[in-house]
Structure 1
Amino acid sequence: MKKLSKILCACLLSLSLAACSSNDKPSDQTEGNNPTDERITVKLGVVGTTNEWWDPAIAALKEEGIDLQLVVFSEYVQPNRALSEGEIDLNAFQHYAYLNKEIEEVGYDITAISDSIIAPFGIYSKKIASLDELKDGDQIAIPQDPTNGGRALKVLEQAGLIKVDPAAGYTPEVKDVTENKLNLQFVQVEASQTAALLDDVAAGFINGAHAVDNGYTPNQDAIYIEQVVEGGDNPYINVIVARTADKDNETYKKVIEAFKTAETVKVIEDVYKGAYKPAFTLE
C-alpha cells in the first residue's frame, strides 16, 4: 500500500507540473509574432484621389499587422477638423503654411510629425499659352483660402506680374497687392473649383492633387510653375500630421518609416512625372 501511495503521488505531481508548463506560453507563439494578435487600424485623412504614393506603405504595414486606411475628403477644411475630433488618426494633405494658419485661426491642437512631399503650384489656361499673353483686366482664378490664395499671389509676384507687401509674409491677401500693372482681377473660389473655371477666366491656379485629378501633368500643361527650393524653412512642404498628444505614438512612427522608402520615391517619380517631389531623403 505504501508503494502504491508513493506511485500515485508521483503521477499526480507529474501531471500538475505538466499542466503548469502548458499554461505558461503556447509553444507555437512568441512575443510580437502572435497569429491571434488583433490588427491595428490607422485612418489617414487625404484630399482628392491622387494618393498612390501611399500604396507601398500600405502594403509594407500590412505585413506588420497595421491596416493603413485612406479616408478621402473633398475639401481642405475637412481633414484637420476630423483629426481634431478623433474621426481619423493622421492626415497628410497640407503644407506647413496651411497647417500653421489653421492652428492659429481655429486653435487645433495638432502637430506635424514628418515631411512628406512638395507639390509645385501651377498656373493653367485654356486660352493662352504663356503669361506674356495676359491682357489688361484679365481674370485669374485663385484659391479662396488664405494660405493657398496667398501662395498664388506670391507665385504671380515670382513671375513678375504683381508685387505684394513684404510685411504680409508667405500669406498675403489681395488687399496686400501693391503693384498690378495689368490690373489683373482675382476670382477667389474654393481650391477644388479653380479647374472648373478655366473656361471663364484667362488663367487659374490648380493645386497639385486637383491638377492631376483633372488630367493635367504640371510639368507639361502648366503655363507657369512655381519655382520651389527644397529644404530650409520652406512653408510649402507637405506634412503628415497627428494630434499633439499622439506625436510620439509608436505605431505612427512605423507609418512614417514605411512611407520614407525608395519604393515611395519610385512611385512619385514614375506616376507623377514631376508633379510632386519627395520632401525627404533616404537613409
Structure 2
Amino acid sequence: MKKITYLLLALVLAIGTLTACGSSDKESETKEAAGKTIKVAASATPHAIILEEAKTLLKKQGWDLEIKVFDDYVQPNNVVESGEFDANYFQHIPYLENFNKEKGTHLVNAGGIHYEPFGIYPGTEKKLDELKEGDTIAVPNDTTNEARALLLLQDNGIIKLKDGAGLEATVKDIAENPKNIKIQELEAAQVSRVKDEVAFVVLNGNYALEAGYSVEKDSIAYEKSDSEAAKTYVNVIAVKEGNENNEGIKALISVLKSDEIKKFINEKFNGAVVPFE
C-alpha cells in the first residue's frame, strides 16, 4: 500500500513539474512574441502609407508593425516620450529639436527616411506673375514650417527676408514686400482649405497630397532635391533617447531605407515624397 502511495505521489509531482515547465515555456513564448512588436505613431499621408508597405517586409523578419494615425503634430511626440509607442514618423529634424526645446522632451532622430518638397500651389491665381497688389498667400504658422514657406516665397521673388533670418524666419522678418502681399498664417492642416479664398497656398508635402495636389503637376514652384531645405527637412523616425539602437528600431529603419521601399515611394507619390539617401 505504501509503495502505491509513493508511486502516486511521484506521478503527481512529475505532472506538476511538466505543467510548470510548459507554463514557463508558454510565458516565455508570449513575452518573446510581445517583444517582436513595433508600435509607431504616424501622420496619415505619406507616413502611414509607407509604414503599411513596410509591414510585409518586417513580418518576414519576425516583427509585427502596429501603426496608429494621428492628425496633429503634438500627440505623436507625447506618446513616444511616455513610452506608450516605440517611435513616431511624421516630422523633420528642426521641428523635433524645437519640440524638445519647448516641451522638455527627450526625443532623438533614429534615421532619416524621406523629404517632402514644400510647394506653392494655385488658389484664385494660377501663375506667380498674376499676383496683384494686396493679394493674400496662406502659409503654415508653426515655427519651422513658416520659415520654410517664407524662404520659398523669397526664392521666387515675392518677398525678401532680413539677412540671417534663415530657418527661424517669421513674417516679422520680411524686409521687402513690393506688392504688399498679405501673409495669412494658419495651422498646417488648414492651409489647403482656404485655397479658394487666397491667391496661393504654400503647403507641406503631406498636406499637399491630402488636398489632392501633385508636386510635379500642380505646384507652381517647389524645393529642389539638392536644396538646403531638402537636406534640413528630411522626415525621420523619432524615438526616446536611449532607444535608437533597439533591435526593433534598427529593423524598422533598415526596412524603410531598403530598395523595395524606395521604389514604392518613387512610384506611389510622383515626386511629392522623395527617399532620403
**TM-score interval for Structure 1 and Structure 2 normalised by the shorter chain:** 0.7 to 0.9
How much does 1:35 deviate?
Answer: 10
Distance 1:37 1:226 in 2: 45
1:231–1:154 Cα change, 3 Å: closer
Q: Which residue of 104, 109, 114 corresponds with 1:112?
A: 109
Residue 127 of structure 1: aligned partner: 124
Unaligned runs of 5+ in 1: 1-21
Residue 202 of structure 1: aligned partner: 199
Which whole-Å deviations, capped at 9, do the CAs of 1:231-253 have from their partners, x for residues lacking one? 89921111111000212212111
Which whole-Å deviations, capped at 9, do the CAs of 1:7-52 have from their partners, x for residues lacking one? xxxxxxxxxxxxxxx9xx99xx9xxxx7994242211111124332
Instruction: In structure 2, give the amino acid aligned to 1:47.
Output: S
Contact between 2:45 and 2:209, CA under 8 Å: does it hold in 1?
A: no
Which whole-Å deviations, capped at 9, do the CAs of 1:203-226 have from their partners, x for residues lacking one? 111211111112111110112212
Residue 46 of structure 1: aligned partner: 42
Residue 12 of structure 2: aligned partner: none
Instruction: In structure 2, give the amino acid aligned to 1:270.
Output: E
Distance 2:195 2:39 in 1: 34
- Is residue 2:167 matched to residue 1:170? yes
What's the TM-score, normalizing by structure 2?
0.84
Contact between 2:148 and 2:229, CA under 8 Å: does it hold in 1?
A: no
Distance 1:141 1:41 in 2: 41
Q: Secondary structure at the match of 2:150?
A: helix
What's the TM-score, normalizing by structure 1?
0.82
Q: Secondary structure at the match of 1:60?
A: helix
Residue 62 of structure 2: aligned partner: 65
Pick the structure with more helix per residue.
Answer: 2
Distance 1:230 1:151 in 2: 12
Q: Which residue of 165, 174, 190 corresponds with 2:187?
A: 190
Residue 141 of structure 1: aligned partner: 138
Identical aligned residues as a percent: 35
Which whole-Å deviations, capped at 9, do the CAs of 1:89-120 have from their partners, x for residues lacking one? 10111111111211222221010010110100
Distance 1:230 1:54 in 2: 26
Contact between 1:118 and 1:238, CA under 8 Å: does it hold in 2?
A: yes
Distance 1:263 1:72 in 2: 23
How much does 1:156 deviate?
Answer: 0.5
1:278–1:209 Cα change, 3 Å: same
Contact between 1:54 and 1:264, CA under 8 Å: does it hold in 2?
A: no
Contact between 1:94 and 1:239, CA under 8 Å: does it hold in 2?
A: yes
> Once structures 1 and 2 are overlaid, which stretch shifts more, 92-101 or 40-49?
40-49
- Is residue 2:226 matched to residue 1:215? no
Equivalent residue pairs, number? 253
Distance 1:89 1:36 in 2: 16
Distance 2:230 2:220 in 1: 27
> Once structures 1 and 2 are overlaid, which stretch shifts more, 161-170 or 148-157?
161-170
Residue 251 of structure 2: aligned partner: 254
Unaligned runs of 5+ in 2: 1-17
Distance 2:56 2:64 in 1: 9
Structure with max Cα Rg: 1
Q: Which residue of 237, 241, 246 corresponds with 1:244?
A: 241
Contact between 2:119 and 2:220, CA under 8 Å: does it hold in 1?
A: yes
Distance 2:229 2:187 in 1: 29
> What are the residue-to-residue correspondences of 1:71-110 with 2, within 5 Å?
71-110=68-107
Contact between 1:144 and 1:191, CA under 8 Å: does it hold in 2?
A: yes
Instruction: In structure 1, give the amino acid aligned to 2:248.
Output: T
Residue 265 of structure 2: aligned partner: 268
Residue 17 of structure 1: aligned partner: none
Distance 2:178 2:239 in 1: 43
> Once structures 1 and 2 are overlaid, which stretch shifts more, 231-240 or 126-135?
231-240
